[in-house]
Every structure is written in C-alpha cells, then in structure tokens.
Structure 1
Amino acid sequence: MRLRIAKAVFTSAGCRRTQRGARRPHIARGGSSLAGVNDDLLNARQVAPSVLASDFARVGAQVEEVMAAGARVIHIDVMDGAFVPALSMGPQMVSALDEQVHGAGGWLDVHLMIERPERHVEAFAAAGADSISVHVEATPHVHFALKAVREADCKAGLALNPGTTATAIDSLIGAFDLLLCMTVNPGWGGQPYIAGSEARIEDLRRRIGPDVPLEVDGGIDVSTAGPAAEAGATLFVAGSSIYGAPDAAAAYREIAAAAGA
C-alpha cells in the first residue's frame, strides 16, 4: 500500500488546508452541517467497517471490497499505547484512504483513542478525516477538543467508555455532532460485545434526542447489530466480524441487514 501524505499549507487567514485546496468540499465550512452527497451518511443507519481488523498489506483492496458491497463509512481506530495499551495507526492511514473513499462518495470516520486528542486534531483533519471522535476520558479539555474538531471542518464525535457514567455527556450536549458508545473496553479488536449494552444505548439515546447519530463500537456482528439498532444505535462499527470472515463483502451485507442499514 502506498501512503500518500497530504502536504499542509497556511492561507493568509491562517487556516490550514491541503495542497488540493479546500478540504473535504462535501462538508460545509465550520463543521456545523453536512452537505452534498454525504448528507445522508450519518443521518441513516450505516455499518462502518474498521480498517483496524484489515490486512494492512491489502488495506486499499479490502476497503474497495466492502465499499463495492455498499459500505460508505470507513472507520479508522487510532491508538497511542497510553490511553489504551495498543498502538495502531496515524494520519498517514487517513491520507492513504482519502481519495479512494471520497472518490466513491464515502466518509472517513476517525476514532481517537489517544491522550490529549486536541493536540492531534489538525493532523487528522488535514489528512482527510470527515468526523473525528475524542474520548471524554482522554482530556481535561473536552469542550476545547470538540471545538477544535469543528473548527477543522470535521464533524465532532464524543466517545464514551463502558465504565463512564452516561451523565458525563449531559454538559456537552450541543458541543458534539455524533456520540460513540463503546460496547467493549477499548484497546484491541475482536473482543466480545458487553452483554446488556442495549440499556446503556437506550439511556444515551434519550439524552441526546432522536437526531444525533449514535455510534456503537465493539463486538458488533450479525447477532448484536439488531439489538443495538432497536436500542437506538444508528452507526455500527464492525471490524473482525467483517475482515475476519472468509468473505468480507458478504459479512458486511449480513451485518447491514441485521442492523436495518
């Protein structure tokens, strides 16, 4: 896989842009609303294959396979070895998939499982991220981190670990554009879905209302996607259940059907 890193420049107004010009023209400036072909992507049920579970020697081919099967949201898990034990990938992966995913009308959904994510938002936005989720547990400056994501022309996601009380989001409602509910403890792929997560999903849905996308991440497969959807989830991250299957495209379609996507 050839990694293409977008070179960033600064305009006279001080705004960071890639050499390709204005970043992600399918997103309205300021990150407050979606526009164009991608407007429905986070407003309808979607299964988001996670490249963390893919074969890194064939990432492009495997992303192409699931997108040909109907996937439009591609999920990228970023781990720093500090907030979570594992190390995964950085902005270079986002940059490598930028043209491929956006050229197919897709969306790059970045999940930062890293300490002090506000320090790294610019790099992931410049690489081509469309949405960036930060953990409420990862920084004392959550409002600032979410604001930084929006100012980088991305949709701001707030992520919540299983052990964090749902009330942690209450003072942040309005500051984020999507909510990510972890249904496993973060740190590595292939973990089983935490039983009883549906009650938590229902609670979070009540708190954020009907219109905010609610993403679930961890242990999502054909047996868990349906109950999570019934509880109020709309975006379903699936990694090993797709890329660990003999036929990733077929696995994607089966999970999408189970989720009603």
Structure 2
Amino acid sequence: MDSLPKGIKGIIGPSILSADLSKLTDESRRLLDAGADYLHLDVMDGHFVPNLTIGHPVIKCLRKNIPKVYFDAHMMVAKPEQWIEEMAGAGVNQYTFHIESTTKESMPEIIRKIKEADMKVGLGIKPKTDISVVEEYINDIDVVLIMTVEPGFGGQKFMGDMMEKIRWLRKTYPQLLHIEVDGGVSTKTIDDCAQAGANMIVSGSALIDSKQPDKDIEQMRNLIDENLKSKKLHLQITNNEHCSH
C-alpha cells in the first residue's frame, strides 16, 4: 500500500525504532510480510527529543529496497520546515510533525510546503498538549497523531488516559478519516484504542519482539475494524480534496 484508504479502516504500521537498524530492510520486509500496512519511521534530531535516530539518507536507501510501501515519517525534530524537501526526495508519503515543535505563525507555511511536496500532512501532539490545539488545522491536514507516551524513546508504558482525545476527535470531527495512535500499543492495549475510535495504529517493540507478528497484526486490525463497524464509521468516505490527493 503506497496510499491511505479513502474510507475509515484499521491500518497497522510497525515502528522501526525498536528494530535492529543494521538490518532495517530485512526487519521491515519481515513485518510487511506478516501483514503490516505501512511503516512508521521515527526521525529524531536530539533537540526536540533527547534521542537521535535516522534521517533522510537512511530512508532513501530503505525506499530503494522497498519501493511500494507507505512511509509515515514521524518528525520529532525542532525545525520541521527544514526537512520537508529532503524527506519528499527520500520517498516519504506522510510527513508527520509536532505542533509543539514550531510556532502558530509558521504552521500554515509548513502545511503548505508539505502539500506542495506531494506528501500527506500528519500533525502530532504530545500527551500534555490539549487536543483543542488541532481545531484550526483540522481541514488542512490528513492525520492527527495522538501520542500515548512521551516522544523520544521506545518501550514506554501506554497512557490510557489519552483515549479521551481520540474519542473527542471522532465525535467532533467525523470528516477526519485517520486518527493515529503511537506509544505502548500492543495486543494488550489495542482494545482501548479501538473503542476510542483510532484506526491508524503504530506498534513498536510489541511487534518487533513478537514471535507471531502476523497473528498480532491481524488481531489488532480486526479489533479496530469491529469497533469502527459498530460505530458505522467504516462506511464513511470523504470528498474533501485533502484526503484524496
């Protein structure tokens, strides 16, 4: 899959943060063969978060080896505007940056540049950030990413109290197709995400370390789809241009 579905449905994206980065292609293929829908690529600059991971040169190499998979670059960086062209050139499909990493005055230009680079716009918020900050951008973005851990490190404990943000988003903005959740998500916590209305699921160490990632991915996706169906959200299609480009 090199694009997001037009309807609301469960999609599972392993985070490569916990993977053996010296075997990134092999690890990615292993999880894709197990049924993963996309790859969540954690980019950290050591400034916005106190950790340092991969950048666009590594992603470009990964793209050469895996040409037709949806790449979601989670930009945990202090200057998100700095890397837009590089990430687009590396083959990124979705550029997800944090609202806390920039100023309100810079937001429109960053969103515009991401769209002009032919990438989808993801907007992430940290656990302590009020969900209402996304309201004025909701019609200009494609995905809202709800962090259920503090960004910067893998293997943290899932923050269940963040589910209220997801419930509020689903209820308030039914036109928003993709609500992504990232941090401590596993087969043990997926039900909370599903019931809240999340559909785009990032799972890191739980899938990387799993002895049966295919069954875990299937279980996660089925729980999401069952809950979306019960809410009649799986039939929802939007005609908004920003969700179909």
Same fold (TM over 0.5): yes
- The share of aligned pairs that are identical, in percent, is 29
Partner of residue 38, structure 1: 3
Distance (Å, rounded) in 2 between the aligned partners of 1:195 and 1:72: 24
1:118 aligns with 2:91: no
What letter corresponds to residue 131 of structure 2 in structure 1?
A
Is the Cα contact below 8 Å between 2:179 and 2:198 reproduced in 1?
Answer: yes
Aligned pair count reads 224
What letter corresponds to residue 71 of structure 1 in structure 2?
A
Is the Cα contact below 8 Å between 2:143 and 2:176 reproduced in 1?
Answer: no
1:136 aligns with 2:99: yes
**Pairing 1:63-212 to 2, within 5 Å after superposition:** 63-103=28-68, 106-140=69-103, 141-212=106-177
Displacement after TM superposition at 1:64 (Å): 0.9
1:236 aligns with 2:201: yes
SS of the aligned residue for 1:196 comes to helix
Distance (Å, rounded) in 2 between the aligned partners of 1:239 and 1:79: 15
Kindly indicate which of the two structures has a greater share of residues assigned to helix.
2
Q: 5+ residue gaps in structure 2?
A: 227-245
Displacement after TM superposition at 1:58 (Å): 1.5
Is the Cα contact below 8 Å between 1:45 and 1:235 reproduced in 2?
Answer: yes
| 1:118-175 deviations in Å (ceiling 9; x for gaps) | 1111101110000011110001112221111111000011111110111101111212
Distance (Å, rounded) in 2 between the aligned partners of 1:193 and 1:42: 27
Moved over 4 A (4+): none
Q: 5+ residue gaps in structure 1?
A: 1-25, 27-36
Compare relative contact order (CA 8 Å, sep 6+) and give the higher one, 1 or 2.
2
Distance (Å, rounded) in 2 between the aligned partners of 1:41 and 1:78: 26
Distance (Å, rounded) in 2 between the aligned partners of 1:47 and 1:253: 9
SS of the aligned residue for 2:3 comes to helix
Partner of residue 25, structure 2: 60
Is the Cα contact below 8 Å between 1:146 and 1:157 reproduced in 2?
Answer: no
Partner of residue 23, structure 1: none
* Superposition TM-score, scaled by structure 2 size: 0.85
Distance 1:249 1:96, change over 3 A: farther
The two structures, once aligned, show a CA RMSD in angstroms of 2.0
| 1:23-48 deviations in Å (ceiling 9; x for gaps) | xxx9xxxxxxxxxx735278421110
Distance (Å, rounded) in 2 between the aligned partners of 1:47 and 1:109: 11
Distance (Å, rounded) in 2 between the aligned partners of 1:50 and 1:41: 23
Distance (Å, rounded) in 1 between the aligned partners of 2:59 and 2:6: 18
1:217 aligns with 2:175: no
Distance (Å, rounded) in 2 between the aligned partners of 1:258 and 1:44: 11
What letter corresponds to residue 161 of structure 2 in structure 1?
G
Distance (Å, rounded) in 2 between the aligned partners of 1:189 and 1:254: 22
Displacement after TM superposition at 1:59 (Å): 1.2
Distance (Å, rounded) in 2 between the aligned partners of 1:147 and 1:42: 24
SS of the aligned residue for 1:189 comes to coil
What letter corresponds to residue 100 of structure 2 in structure 1?
E
